[in-house]
């Protein structure tokens, strides 16, 4: 995790994590470092427990800290419950698509649709 003064220099890389993009990924890292920036990416969360505590509760709590909700923020426990439900949908979709991870366009779209349905059912968003 960067020191406090370095946070303003951090740049989050939102890129595809696949073989074809690898040369551009390494070029981005090289260029950012050469320009005095600190590359950051979601891959760090897998090995750095400081990033949102490395937990579902941590990332959802971070979202609650950063974003306003039109109807007021739901309690963290309700978001955790919804995330657990969505994890079951993800597991089924992964089995259906014979994938080890949810990083496939069709699975992403299915998860987004299921999330809207679940959030509406739980009255976290308006119908």
CB atoms within 10 A of CB 107: 19
Report d(CA 59, CA 55) in Å as an integer.
Answer: 6
Cα end-to-end distance, the chain, whole Å = 40
Q: How many CA atoms lie within 13 A of 99 on its CB side?
A: 15
Rounded to whole angstroms, the Cα distance separating 32 from 26 reads: 10
Q: How far apart are CA 76 and CA 57, in angstroms?
A: 7
Measured between alpha carbons, how far is 23 from 27 in angstroms, rounded to an integer? 6
Kindly give, in sequence order, each residue whose CB lies less than 8 Å from that of residue 24, ignoring residues fewer than 6 positions away.
15
* 81-103 pLDDT, tens digit each: 999 999 999 999 999 989 877 77
> In the prediction, which pLDDT does 110 show?
92
Asked whether the CA dihedral 70, 90, 75, 127 is positive or negative, the reply is: positive
pLDDT digits (tens, 9 = 90+) for 16-59: 877 787 788 888 888 788 888 888 887 765 555 666 667 888 87
């Amino acid at each position: 995790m960067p020191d406090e003064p370095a946070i303003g220099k951090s740049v989050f890389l939102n890129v595809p994590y696949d073989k074809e993009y690898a040369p551009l990924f390494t070029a981005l890292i090289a260029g950012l470092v050469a320009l005095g920036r600190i590359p950051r990416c979601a891959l760090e969360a897998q090995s750095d427990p400081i990033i949102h505590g490395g937990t579902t509760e941590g990332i959802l709590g971070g979202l609650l800290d950063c974003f306003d909700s039109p109807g007021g923020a739901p309690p963290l426990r309700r978001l955790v419950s919804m995330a657990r439900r969505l994890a079951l949908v993800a597991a089924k979709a992964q089995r259906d698509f014979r994938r080890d991870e949810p990083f496939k366009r069709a699975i992403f779209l299915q998860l987004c649709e299921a999330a809207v349905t679940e959030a509406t059912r739980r009255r976290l968003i308006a119908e």
